[in-house]
Chain A
Amino acid sequence: MKRRLFTTLLLSLAVTLLLVGCSESSTSSSDNEIKFMHLWPEGSSKHHYEIVNEIIADFEAENEGVKVDLEVLSNEQYKDKLKVLSTSKELPDVGMTWAAGFLEPYVGGNMFASLDDVVDGELADEFIPGTVEAYEIDGTTYGLPLELNIATLYYNTKMFEEAGVEAPETYEELIDVVNAFKEDGIQPIALGNRDAWTGSLWYMYLADRIGGGAAISNAIDRSGSFEDSALVEAAEKVLDLVDKDAFVKGFNGLSDEEAKSMFMNEQAPMYLIATWDLPNFTTNEDVPQEFRDSVEYLKFPTVDGSGDMNSFIGGPGVGLFVAEDSKVKEDAKKFAAFFIKEWGEKSVAQAGVIPATKVDASSLDLPQMYIDILDELTEASNITLFADVQMSPSVAQVHLDAIQALFGNEMTAEEFAKIQEEALSKE
């Protein structure tokens, strides 16, 4: 009896002591340990995960005494954890970041190290032009891009044949295709707008075709405006598509994943998505061969006779950062550079990633669609970075909410322009 009470007391005492006491410094990493955090768990991204492990093994073999300590999280959890870690200045030595707007707060808080020396030195001429620039703030590079994605409109050739329509090259033809499918009782375009960046892709392409490649970027960097007539017109075209029931039913409540599955189960013949989904349309053995054979892509149509079809929406996805406070900064930079060099060929060959570094495609055995996309990339006249990536996190939130409202017909094109204009001018 007494003993039990004693144990209880002891336990609570121990807990309190643990909390109050032992306030020593918390860095446990030894001198040559690089802490690396990435977002490709083995369960969902086996190929990525394995490539990372191969690269780490190679790096450790080449650099005696340096150890890479790994932590893997899923996408959303990764973002949340990075945020929490940064509030305590406890970022991993090397980690993943996104470009432009995502970088801003971290760079502003002096969390990421400048990588200019690496980019101009060891990695000079490694990157595809335009990729590493997305990680620049005021002329300094803070991230090394790993992927390059561009969005294209994927379509199901078999369903197009059955409906007797051709791949559209203009907006008017797109509307014809939409109407043809609707007559057959098929929902034309798969769109999961719960995530809103999907709808943003549509809006951005329309804006790009109507107002040119720089229209949106100018509005975001304040040399232009969202109230620019081309951008308002793009929003009106969105309303026009919604009005014509071009998108699947209830798209504002669907996740991108649900929309994708409608496309992949041949419930909807068109789907606008970026190249990260290429494996699903080419090499992924879990997807029926018949479906993969019938998927083709087309460049976003011109609108009212204007627009350059070689202008794309896209940009680098994740990139590597090195923490400014890292105790092993030089080793960490070395590792990041090493990673970039090995990543290129391995990622495209084994994981179907389009890397941000130059790869000699002819030396690799790639599916035709990859070769075509890589060609598009070299011929691209312009790649506009995803709007929500360009914007700072708080403006991006406004943009995404506005996209949902616009697609949901709760906002006019003018209101849509105004609300973003207000958010941007407050910055």
Chain B
Amino acid sequence: MNKVMSNRLSIAIYVLPALLLVTILVFIPLILSAYYGLMKWDGIGAMEFIGLENYINGIKDEKFWNSAYHSFLLAIFSTLSLAVYLTVSLILASKIKGSDLFRKIYLIPMLLSSVAIAQLWIKVYNPSNGILNAILMNLGVKNPPAWLADPSLVLLAIFIPILWQYAGFYILIYYAALKNIPESLIEAAKIDGATPTQIALKIKLPLIKEVVVVTVVLAIVGSLKYFDLIYVMTGGGPNGASEVMASYMYKLAFSSYDFGYGSAIGFLLLVITLIVTFIIRKITATDEQVEY
């Protein structure tokens, strides 16, 4: 057994295609961009080496930390909402009639491109013509908020569509994991007189723990580098109130032509994500998987 499973040639054959692609197309650009971060460069003219200045400025940059704070909030909200998605998946996977249809419908927002999602929610939030304010006014609210224009509400307003869009994605993963549990285990528990809730909590959850951990990492990493809807719906505004790390980086590199600084911010984003992921893995690691 061990001999077969530790054959070097086999390991190379299985790992190298993926590893080479990721190394060449993901890591080399990453290293290059870390290197650009050492330069004063507008992306066009000559580069000028300035050492760690960009990185130091990034660490001192109030706007960057403000955007990092927003990204962290998104990460926290995304992680918390995983509990909701998991509950829904547990219900759907417990042999409810029509669960397949529900599951499919739940994924629809994820299938639409962000262009469409953004347009829909812009129309929901429009302060004068939007659906949301029309409903609020009908309910007797005299002066409903101007959602995307209100610095204190814009983050919340923009998180909702993001969480809503990704719901189906996580439900899809959880559902597949739950369906992967051998039927025999659940039958045995039923014979022992376990209630559905007990089965869900005591048998199903522990069995898909690995998958849950993976989704937590995905949710956090995905949130920390999130860009799409925020860029389309608010552009990070008003005045940075909904800026996240990735949109700030984009602005610096592509709108302000400060490519060196933008690259440094992109690299800081990566470092922050790495640290957070490392902490998460430490917290969630159990004895069996010391290997990572």
* Contact of B127 with A by CB under 8 A: yes
Whether A87 pairs with B254 at a CB distance below 8 angstroms is no
**Interface majority SS (helix, strand, loop, mixed), chain A:** helix
Closest to B20 in A: A16
A31, chain B: closest CB distance, angstroms? 26
Closest to A108 in B: B45
- Report B32-51 CB contacts with A as 1/0, cut-off 8 Å: 00000000001111100000
Instruction: Report the separation of the CA atoms of residues A194 and B13 in the bound assembly, to the nearest whole angstrom.
Output: 52
Q: Which residues of A contact B227 (CB under 8 A)?
A: none
* Contact of B126 with A by CB under 8 A: yes
- Report B246-260 CB contacts with A as 1/0, cut-off 8 Å: 000001001111110
Instruction: Report the separation of the CA atoms of residues A8 and B129 in the bound assembly, to the nearest whole angstrom.
Output: 55
* Contact of A267 with B by CB under 8 A: yes
Q: Which residues of A contact B129 (CB under 8 A)?
A: 262, 267
* Contact of A375 with B by CB under 8 A: no
A80-B254 in contact given A253-B127, A253-B148, A258-B126 (Cβ < 8 Å): yes
Instruction: Report the separation of the CA atoms of residues A262 and B130 in the bound assembly, to the nearest whole angstrom.
Output: 12
Bin chain A's interface residue count: 35 or more
How many of B's residues come within 8 Å of A, CB to CB? 38
Instruction: Report the separation of the CA atoms of residues A21 and B161 in the bound assembly, to the nearest whole angstrom.
Output: 44
* Contact of A128 with B by CB under 8 A: no
Q: Which residues of B contact A250 (CB under 8 A)?
A: 126-128, 146-150
User: In the complex, which residues 76-119 of chain B have their Cβ closer than 8 Å to any Cβ of chain A?
Assistant: none
Contact of A251 among B43, B149, B251, B256 (CB under 8 A): B149
Whether A106 pairs with B234 at a CB distance below 8 angstroms is no
- Report B124-153 CB contacts with A as 1/0, cut-off 8 Å: 011111000000000000000011111100
* Contact of A425 with B by CB under 8 A: no
Instruction: Report the separation of the CA atoms of residues A258 and B254 in the bound assembly, to the nearest whole angstrom.
Output: 25
Whether B44 pairs with A108 at a CB distance below 8 angstroms is yes
Instruction: Report the separation of the CA atoms of residues A405 and B126 in the bound assembly, to the nearest whole angstrom.
Output: 20
B248, chain A: closest CB distance, angstroms? 11
Whether B254 pairs with A79 at a CB distance below 8 angstroms is yes
Contact of A404 among B17, B239, B251, B254 (CB under 8 A): B239
A393-B257 in contact given A15-B21, A105-B43 (Cβ < 8 Å): yes
Instruction: Report the separation of the CA atoms of residues A410 and B255 in the bound assembly, to the nearest whole angstrom.
Output: 23
Whether A187 pairs with B43 at a CB distance below 8 angstroms is no
* Contact of B235 with A by CB under 8 A: yes
Instruction: Report the separation of the CA atoms of residues A111 and B119 in the bound assembly, to the nearest whole angstrom.
Output: 37
A262-B128 in contact given A253-B234, A393-B257 (Cβ < 8 Å): yes
Instruction: Report the separation of the CA atoms of residues A106 and B256 in the bound assembly, to the nearest whole angstrom.
Output: 13
Q: Which residues of B contact A195 (CB under 8 A)?
A: 235
Whether B46 pairs with A83 at a CB distance below 8 angstroms is no
Whether B122 pairs with A111 at a CB distance below 8 angstroms is no
* Contact of A288 with B by CB under 8 A: no
B168, chain A: closest CB distance, angstroms? 27
* Contact of B188 with A by CB under 8 A: no
Q: Which residues of A contact B254 (CB under 8 A)?
A: 79-80, 83
Q: Which residues of A contact B151 (CB under 8 A)?
A: 408, 410
Instruction: Report the separation of the CA atoms of residues A203 and B215 in the bound assembly, to the nearest whole angstrom.
Output: 48
Contact of A196 among B149, B154, B237, B258 (CB under 8 A): B237
Instruction: Report the separation of the CA atoms of residues A79 and B44 in the bound assembly, to the nearest whole angstrom.
Output: 13
Q: Hey, which bits of chain B sit against chain A, CB under 8 A?
A: 13, 16-17, 20-21, 24-25, 42-46, 122, 125-129, 146-151, 154, 234-235, 237-240, 251, 254-259
Provide a sorted-by-A list of 5 A–B residue pairs whose CB atoms are within 8 angstroms.
A9-B13, A87-B259, A253-B237, A394-B257, A401-B237
Q: Hey, which bits of chain A sit against chain B, CB under 8 A?
A: 5, 8-9, 11-12, 15-16, 19, 79-80, 83, 86-87, 105-106, 108-111, 187, 193-196, 248-255, 258, 262, 267, 392-394, 396-397, 401-402, 404-405, 408, 410-411
5 closest Cβ pairs, A-B complex? A250-B146, A253-B148, A250-B127, A253-B149, A109-B44
